[in-house]
Amino acid sequence: MPELRRFYLAASMLIGATAISATQAGALDADAIYSGGEILTINDAQPSAEAVAVKDGKILAVGSLATVAKEHAGANTRTIDLAGKTLLPGFVDSHGHAYMIGLQASSANLLPPPDGNGQDIASLQALLKEWAADNGEFLDKIGWIVGFGYDDSQLKEQRHPTRDELDAVSTDLPVLIIHQSGHLGVANSKALAMAGVTAETPDPSGGVFRRKAGSQEPNGVMEEYAFFALIFKLMENFDDQANDSLVEAGARLLASFGYTTGQEGRAMDDGLNAMRRVAEAGRLPIDLVAYPDMLVVTDPAPSSTYNGRFRIGGVKLTIDGSPQGKTAWLTQPYFVPPDGQDAEYRGYAAIDQATVNASVDKAFAHGWQILVHANGDAASDSYIQAVKAASEKYPDANNRPVLIHGQVLREDQVDSLNTLGIFPSLFPMHTFYWGDWHRESVLGPQRAENISPTGWVLDRGMMFGTHHDAPVALPNSMRVLSATVTRRTRTGRVLGPEHRVPVATALKAMTLWPAWQHFEEDSKGSIEVGKVADFVILSENPLTIPEAELAEIHVLETIKAGKTVYRRDNP
């Protein structure tokens, strides 16, 4: 069958070449024509096609093989046989952290299975020691042993490691491990001493240093802004070259999972400067949109124009923390409170309401798009209140405000998002990674059913995005797709069956709808004439493969503006 397709394509090219004059052919000739497999356009007006022609990095034609070849095949046109594989538009990152993905890719992998081997505290210690032994040059440069992705909910001990257990890795070098949520971490005694954290150090606003039982001595576990202080201490050791390498590593990892547009969803100055340098040097394989933390970066200068595949899309605000880390801000108590908290513990806000109101007002006044991290329903209430006030004050603002995560959204809050035009970027991948933990410890059986409530959103005819929030997890596009469609937890439980989403809809939430989120729906997110030739080639057709096998689909190739930027070595 592939031979027949190639013969037919060659014959069609010949017919086209003789039917079109030389001058016309030069104007109409494609650089490449893709055919020979399934082509899913994510365009309701033309859901599938036999062939796609590309010229100068844009889509020239979409349609039948005979027509596309006849009208656009020239002497120099490359013919690309998909060999039965599936071509889709490149994935658009609804929310992630490209710069921090680079840190994840550069540090010890402490993720639990299936993404790593962090199964207990002993394995974490071994992984850190192994990384230190294998990364001497990087270790010499930064002077810290760093690990990313441990998860207390998946460790055999069902708790966080302590400073004493990290001291077993090293007492000479600072050791810092980052929780899979990115909102907590653990430091050894050396790292705490370098940061000046002692028994006398007070908890910062919006953060907590956890203490040893019966003492004020820090036990090494840090939450939110207490943890961020140690991260900033670590990052002081990164020079321009190291920061640039993080950006490149993050972008490459995103490309390997089919993303042609990535996002840095909470950028600081060092990361922004690194992204600009890498972009100006022409080393970004994919488009990258950054959203600076507006409480840190005072002059974000958003732009709709890419410079070297980089632009600032708007601003970011963070109201609360992580539900799996039990720092998200809820209206009802946690099902099982964390150590040291009573039965009424509801988490906490990272910033006060006055700051939320002023920040959202500033974004609307300047016409900036604002992305707001709100996991708990109390945090979502805070954001909704601020957007309502700003919308009334600036009724002509067209800035497409975004809610990031919204994991504990109530149904009445979904109504408010719909009314106010707030785009929900949801996190159904949580159902796989932490669905069991949410049910058993974080929210309890009833509330856990409705985390990331895509069903309520669809019932109201709303668009939404789905995201990986890497480096919280690997930016695994097929894991995002699988979790959105099946909502199966690690143990196989379906969490909130009414929130399961059809595959075709889930694909829109990874392509066309997040392109709309970024004000790029006219150039990205579907395979249509005139749009950028951003594609991903998958090993299987997600519309026809059994839903239980969606997570096993492989990204074989990622194509940015008509050029391959990633190809799987062993398909």
pLDDT classification of 517: cutoffs 50, 70, 90: very high
pLDDT value, residue 23? 33
pLDDT band at 323 (very low <50, low <70, confident <90, very high): very high
Using 50, 70 and 90 to split pLDDT, how confident is the model at 15? Answer: very low
Least confident of 153-162, 505-514, 534-543: 153-162
Specify the pLDDT at position 339.
84
Give the three-class secondary structure for 554: coil
Tokens of 318: 């963070």
Domain boundaries, the chain: 2-84, 117-235, 243-565
Least confident of 76-85, 289-298, 406-415, 468-477: 468-477
Write the pLDDT tens digit of every residue in 89-103. Answer: 999 999 999 998 888
Tokens of 317: 């605000």
Mode of pairing for the β-strands spanning 555-560 and 91-92: unpaired
Average pLDDT on 324-350 reads 94
Which numeric CATH code is attached to 243-565? 3.20.20.140
Give a three-class secondary structure readout of 280-310: HCCCCCCEEEEEEECCCCCCCCCCCCCCCCE
What is the per-residue pLDDT across 362-380, written as a single tens digit (0 to 9) for each? Answer: 999 999 999 999 999 999 9
Cβ-based neighbours of 422, under 8 Å, separated by 6 or more: 383, 384, 387, 401, 402, 403, 416
- What is the average per-residue pLDDT within 464-489? 95
**CATH level 2 (architecture), domain 2-84:** Roll (2.30)
Residue 27's pLDDT is what? 67
As a whole number, mean pLDDT of residues 531-545 equals 98
Nearest one of 368, 453, 470, 355 to 94, comparing CA atoms: 470
**DSSP alpha helix (H) spans, 374-526:** 377-393, 411-420, 430-433, 435-437, 444-448, 454-459, 477-486, 503-508, 512-517
CATH of 117-235, one of 3.10.310.70, 3.40.190.90, 3.10.580.10, 3.30.1330.90: 3.10.310.70
By residue count, the chain amounts to 571
Mean per-residue pLDDT, 291-307: 95
The vertex-181 CA angle with 176 and 187, nearest 5°, equals: 15
**How would residue 26 be classed by pLDDT, with cut points 50, 70 and 90?**
low
Residue 457's nearest CA partner among 384, 490, 506 is 506
The residues with which 567 forms a beta bridge, in sequence order, are: 557
The pLDDT value recorded for residue 224 is: 87
DSSP 409-443: --HHHHHHHHHHTPEEEE-TTHHHHTHHHIIIIIS
Instruction: Report whether 509 contacts 464 (CB < 8 A).
Output: yes
pLDDT at 514 over 80: yes
Contact criterion met (CB below 8 Å) for 354 and 409: no
Average pLDDT over residues 505-522: 98
Long-range Cβ contact pairs of 151-154 (< 8 A, separation 24 or more): 151/111, 151/112, 151/118, 151/179, 151/180, 151/324, 152/179, 153/324, 153/434, 153/437, 153/441, 154/112, 154/113, 154/118, 154/119
Q: What is the pLDDT of residues 66-80, one digit of tens each?
A: 999 999 999 999 999
CA angle 491, 497, 502 (to 5 degrees): 110
pLDDT at 22: 34
Question: What is d(CA 384, CA 295) in angstroms, rounded to the nearest whole number?
Answer: 19
Q: Name the residue among 485, 480, 456 with its Cα closest to residue 466.
A: 480
Mean pLDDT to the nearest integer, 334-344: 94
Is the CB of residue 262 less than 8 Å from the CB of residue 290? no
Rounded mean pLDDT, 143-147? 91
Q: Render 125-190 in DSSP notation, one character per residue.
A: HHHHHHHHHH-HHHHHHH--EEEEEE-TTTSTTSS---HHHHHTT-SSS-EEEEETTSSEEEE-HH
| Fold agreement (117-235, 243-565) | no
Q: Are 517 and 71 in contact (CB under 8 A)?
A: no
- Which of 400, 397, 385, 330 minimizes the C-alpha distance to 354? 385
Q: Is the pLDDT of residue 8 over 50?
A: no
**Distance from chain centroid for Cα 108:** 20
DSSP structure class, residue 323: T
Residue 36 confidence (pLDDT) above 80: yes
pLDDT at 25 over 90: no
DSSP characters for 220-286? EEEEHHHHHHHHHHHHTT--HHHHHHHHHHHHHHHHHTTEEEEEEEEE-HHHHHHHHHHHHTT--SS
Q: What is the pTM of this model?
A: 0.87
Over residues 335-353, mean pLDDT: 95
What sign does the dihedral 328-334-338-344 (CA atoms) show?
A: positive
Q: How many CA atoms lie within 13 A of 195 on its CB side?
A: 33
Kindly report the average pLDDT of the chain as a whole number.
92
What does DSSP assign to residue 100?
H
Closest CA to 291 of 301, 281, 280, 276: 301
Per cent of the chain over pLDDT 70 is 95
Question: For the segment 189-241, what is each residue's pLDDT rounded down to a tens digit?
Answer: 999 999 999 999 999 988 899 999 889 999 999 998 898 888 778 878 788 98
Mean pLDDT is lowest, of 229-238, 262-271, 292-301, for: 229-238
> CA–CA separation, 376 vs 445, rounded Å?
16
According to DSSP, the β-strands at 58-63 and 48-55 are antiparallel
Q: What is the pLDDT of residue 90?
A: 98
Residue 17 has pLDDT above 70, yes or no: no
